[in-house]
A and B are shown apart, each in its own frame.
Chain A
């Protein structure tokens, strides 16, 4: 499932689809909201910094565990210092702050690859318990 993300309305679309797919994967209760929120964060990132990109959603499976896979990809400016981005001003909420540290807190697995000038890809997974 792919969602093109370019305007702020797409953020809502992406997270609602994510919630639906997560429900199919077997997630219940607050996990659904956590997933929708994490998607909202990375989708917003795309809109704010890369102008447009794509969110791909899919079911994941490993060792009998079921879960959700979320990939957020853009071809925007990229992140120069990933370590800094992952901790910069997020909790204080003062700076604009990338939504990445927050998304990481909500998901079980979180990988980020970025190349300045080329773009950024965030891969996240959450497993059903």
Chain B
């Protein structure tokens, strides 16, 4: 099922309406009770928000004036649209937006459900009141409207979850960025200390950010230090090789440092040839080699006294 607004194809909308079994009889009944809903809009909207106000956990929404104003407005529009009989793309977009507002306000699905139920109960009371002599008819009419309500809930909850998933993804991305910093030490020289486990996902992210750093810093040499890499097996070695080759395509040469004797041995045993890649024992050596390549020479002048 799509969870981004851009992917709601007409066929998806059709399918969702089929899921709640909305038929022409339902539409007739909804039209019949339209006025009962519209005449008491404020009452129903209030029911929803009063319910939320009772809970600490809904503070994210109820405690923020701008958000709650927009939410009230959207909720009102929501109810009007619910009994309109037209449930197309625009309708879906409205629900989606509502879901996003709730998500941004950190409103949990469970609380939303509770409040929504209170709203429907408020609507239901008015509908039942219209058929005092015929409770079954009242029930049937309310049931038809509830089909649309459930259709709505599905979309709103999908939107809330999609929004949360996106936030999580962004946070993960940020964490990954933080854990693989490239440092610019000199003009045209970057140092990339890699620490921790280098799985495929992280390696991919690391390569991408290194290459972008090469582009933005115009680096010609990169010293990639793998002292802190937990395990160097054939997979990791391949990631490193690919990173080095990709950097070469951008005109940057990579010096790999921090290859311990053990790691070197296991690479040989695995039959991996780091051949074309320059490897050096430690970061210091790597830096010196890099500076040599770039034509720098570090000259010691008289130390300046702190006095």
B7: which A residues are within 8 A, CB to CB?
24, 59
Interface residue ranges of B197-226 to A (CB < 8 Å):
201, 204, 207-208
CA–CA, A87 to B104, complex, Å?
51
Q: Total A-B residue pairs with C-beta atoms closer than 8 Å?
A: 10
Q: Are B201 and A30 in contact (CB under 8 A)?
A: no
CA distance in complex: A26, B204 (Å): 17
Map CB proximity to B onto A1-37 as digits: 1 under 8 Å, 0 otherwise: 0000000000000000000000010100110000000
User: What B residues does A24 contact at CB under 8 A?
Assistant: 4, 6-7
Output the least CB separation between A24 and chain B (Å). 6
Total contacting residues, chain A, CB less than 8 A: 6
Chain A 93-129 residues near chain B, CB threshold 8 A = 129
CA distance A102 to B201 in the complex (A): 20
How far is it, in angstroms, between the C-alpha of A29 and the C-alpha of B173 when the chains are bound?
12
Chain B residues within 8 Å of A29, by CB: 208
In the bound complex, residues from chain A placing their C-beta under 8 Å from that of B6 are 24
Closest residue on chain A to residue B209 by CB atoms: A29
Whether A129 touches B208, Cβ cut-off 8 Å, given contacts A24-B6, A24-B7, is: no
Contacts of A59 in B (CB 8 A): 7
CA distance A112 to B194 in the complex (A): 39
Q: CB within 8 Å of A: which residues of B?
A: 4, 6-7, 201, 204, 207-208
Known contacts A24-B7, A30-B204, A30-B207, then 6 further A-B pairs from the complex at CB < 8 Å, ordered by chain A residue = A24-B4, A24-B6, A26-B4, A29-B208, A30-B208, A129-B201
